[in-house]
Amino acid sequence: MTEMKTTGQQLGRRSWAEPWKIKMVEPLFMSTPEQRRAAMHEAGYNTFLLKSEDVYIDLLTDSGTSAMSDRQWAGMMLGDEAYAGSRNFYHLEAAVQQYYGYRYIVPTHQGRGAENLISQAAITRGQFVPGNMYFTTTRLHQELAGGIFVDVIIDEAHDPASLHPFKGNVDIGKVQSLIEREGAGNIAYISLAGTVNMAGGQPVSMANVRELRALCGQHGIRIYLDATRMVENAFFIQEREPGYADHSIAEIVKEFCGYTDGAWMSAKKDNLVNIGGWLAVNHEDVFERARNMVVVYEGLHTYGGMAGRDMEALAIGIEESMQDQHVRSRIGQVRYLGTLLEQWGIPMVKPVGGHAIFLDARAFYPHLAQSVFPGQTLAAELYLDSGVRSMERGVVSAGRDPETGDHRYPKLELTRLTIPRRVYTQSHMDVVAESVKAVYDRREETRGLRMVYEPQYLRFFQARFEPIE
Ligand code: F0G
């Protein structure tokens, strides 16, 4: 029997295709069910502990997993591997200034290096750090610097079914009451992320950041942006926000960043490199502190843990990441997978966000309590079914409350299918969708997991589990 692919036309639109072609291929290992059972057992039912060689389609993360372009690879040959003052640093600095608009740049080895710098430079012990939902490494660095994270995202973000077009928005009223209750001086800064990873890759609107800027301006509170997926955020503004349809992605990113005082970046996402990051700020005081600290934690302030060649690839990646056709096809691929799953009634976070499909593991397994880790269970089941690797984003990721030591039970119990940029084809998406359906069809037989090993920090990376019989 010949199987028919679902074409764009059948989905009610014209087909699109990627604005690139493949120049080099990397063969994949296609495992048997027995091999996958053995590998999953050895990995303690944690997809972070699988060997990449045992994975068929790797949707663990979009972080550092993108394919670089021929121009980026050519740039790797232009690495100036000087300890100090590498020419590639100046290219990187110029690219960040041109596309994001910030004044001062400090390079770091990846996003969490920059998170450490900004947290240490801008938080005084005991201060509050309001943010539009936590991110694992971001909140940990804020807490290690003595900050107290406060979630100020709109309530809709915690509801997987809400179709709000900007579910990443800050609830301005929540920020206002925090200022009234604690005083502006007790707020370190606003930790604003575009898009919001843990909410499902959901965007923040331009109107929202403008309003936030006005409020913070009155109280002298700075706004720092997690710009990791800001390019994807700009796509949603272009598509959904009145007045932005004829603005380019680059214009939208620049305007949005203009309402903030600086940004930290995991360049492993939007910026299309396998390693790298940066911190960029407009105020000299914060810059001075961060630039001094970078030599302690990362490396000299003109390489920050990156090789010269890495910085060159990053400078070129920044420029490529801003191209409208690139962003359209990147998010188009995520949506294609979403549309396939939706037609089979698979529960997931809606609207589909920028970098991933977030399966709603609670609704997927309504018979499983959150204490048996439905999100983790679903990730394990998917791997066992097809060798597709995904990631838990639920109670395991949320960790424990530093005060009480109890599990933090987030409202969102999700399993993330994260799409690397420029790596997989539409056929890979078909295989993934069919595997999710197969796991869904036998959901009632699934029992859940028990945690048998738990590390102290960011436990989701290294925790181990056993199936409940
Ligand atoms: N901020 C966001 C929104 C992120 O998604 C990440 C990483 C970081 C900061 C930290 O950056 O990994 O370069 O140190 N997210 C990855 C993920 C790990 O899979 O979502 P990093």
What is the C-alpha separation between 178 and 181, in angstroms, rounded? Answer: 5
Q: Which domain holds residue 250?
A: 70-321
DSSP state of 332: H
What is the C-alpha separation between 191 and 150, in angstroms, rounded? Answer: 10
213-269 confidence digits (pLDDT tens):
999 999 999 999 999 999 999 999 999 999 999 999 999 999 999 999 999 999 999
204-223 confidence digits (pLDDT tens):
999 999 999 999 999 999 99
**pLDDT score of 14:** 78
Extended strands (E) in 390-448: 391-393, 414-418
Extended strands (E) in 142-276: 148-151, 190-193, 223-226, 262-266
pLDDT averaged over every residue in the chain: 96
Average pLDDT for 351-373:
97
Q: Within this chain, do residues 402 and 458 fall inside the same structural domain, yes or no?
A: yes
**Ligand 1: nearest atom to the Cα of 229:** 3
Catalytically annotated residue among 104, 128, 135, 166:
135
Domain boundary pick from 259, 291, 321: 321
- Max CA-CA distance within the chain? 69
195 lines ligand 1 (CB under 6 A): no
Residue 2 within a domain: no
32-55 confidence digits (pLDDT tens):
999 999 999 999 999 999 999 999
422-446 confidence digits (pLDDT tens):
999 999 999 999 999 999 999 999 9
Structure token pair of residue 234: 């700009």
pLDDT band at 2 (very low <50, low <70, confident <90, very high): very low
CATH for 352: 3.90.1150.10
51 flagged as catalytic: no
User: Is residue 56 predicted with pLDDT exceeding 80?
Assistant: yes
Q: Within this chain, do residues 176 and 245 fall inside the same structural domain, yes or no?
A: yes
287-309 confidence digits (pLDDT tens):
999 999 999 999 999 999 999 99
In the beta sheet, which residues pair with residue 105? 280
Structure token pair of residue 17: 């295709």
Degrees to nearest 5, angle at CA 12 with 7 and 14:
65
Percent of the chain with pLDDT over 70: 97
CATH for 120: 3.40.640.10
Residue 238 within a domain: yes
**pLDDT score of 40:** 98
Residue 5 within a domain: no
Nearest protein Cα to ligand 1, atom 20: 61
pLDDT band at 403 (very low <50, low <70, confident <90, very high): confident
The total of other beta-carbon atoms located within 10 Å of residue 183's CB is 11
Structure token pair of residue 411: 């409202």
Residue 83 within a domain: yes
Domain boundary pick from 291, 321, 351: 321
pLDDT band at 8 (very low <50, low <70, confident <90, very high): low
226 flagged as catalytic: yes
Element (H, E) at 230: helix 230-240
Domain boundary pick from 259, 288, 321: 321
186-205 confidence digits (pLDDT tens):
999 999 999 999 999 999 99
Q: Within this chain, do residues 294 and 352 fall inside the same structural domain, yes or no?
A: no
User: Is residue 1 predicted with pLDDT exceeding 50?
Assistant: no
Q: Within this chain, do residues 330 and 313 fall inside the same structural domain, yes or no?
A: no
Q: Within this chain, do residues 233 and 156 fall inside the same structural domain, yes or no?
A: yes
Residue 41 within a domain: yes
User: Is residue 4 predicted with pLDDT exceeding 80?
Assistant: no
Strands 262-266, 223-226: pairing kind: parallel
| Placement of tokens 């700009």 in the chain | 234
Strands 190-193, 223-226: pairing kind: parallel
pLDDT band at 6 (very low <50, low <70, confident <90, very high): low
Q: Within this chain, do residues 256 and 371 fall inside the same structural domain, yes or no?
A: no
**3-class DSSP state for residue 416?**
strand
Catalytically annotated residue among 58, 62, 226, 261:
226
Residue 226 within a domain: yes
Residue 7 within a domain: no
Q: Within this chain, do residues 83 and 182 fall inside the same structural domain, yes or no?
A: yes
Structure token pair of residue 235: 């796509």
Q: Within this chain, do residues 189 and 283 fall inside the same structural domain, yes or no?
A: yes
Name the residue of 48, 135, 460 to mutate for ligand 1: max ligand atoms within 8 A of Cβ: 135
- Alpha carbon dihedral 256, 257, 259, 262, in 10-degree steps, equals 160
> Rounded to 5 degrees, what are φ and ψ at 20?
-160, 165
Q: Within this chain, do residues 435 and 451 fall inside the same structural domain, yes or no?
A: yes
Nearest protein Cα to ligand 1, atom 15: 63
* Chain CA centroid to CA 295, Å: 27
In the beta sheet, which residues pair with residue 466? 450
Domain count of the fold of the chain: 2
Q: Within this chain, do residues 189 and 291 fall inside the same structural domain, yes or no?
A: yes
Q: Within this chain, do residues 382 and 426 fall inside the same structural domain, yes or no?
A: yes
CA distances for 181 relative to 177, 220, 444, angstroms: 6, 16, 47
Whether the upstream peptide bond of residue 195 has omega within 30° of 0, thus cis, is yes
65 lines ligand 1 (CB under 6 A): no
Q: Within this chain, do residues 47 and 74 fall inside the same structural domain, yes or no?
A: no
User: Is residue 11 predicted with pLDDT exceeding 70?
Assistant: no
Residue 1 within a domain: no
135 flagged as catalytic: yes
pLDDT band at 15 (very low <50, low <70, confident <90, very high): confident
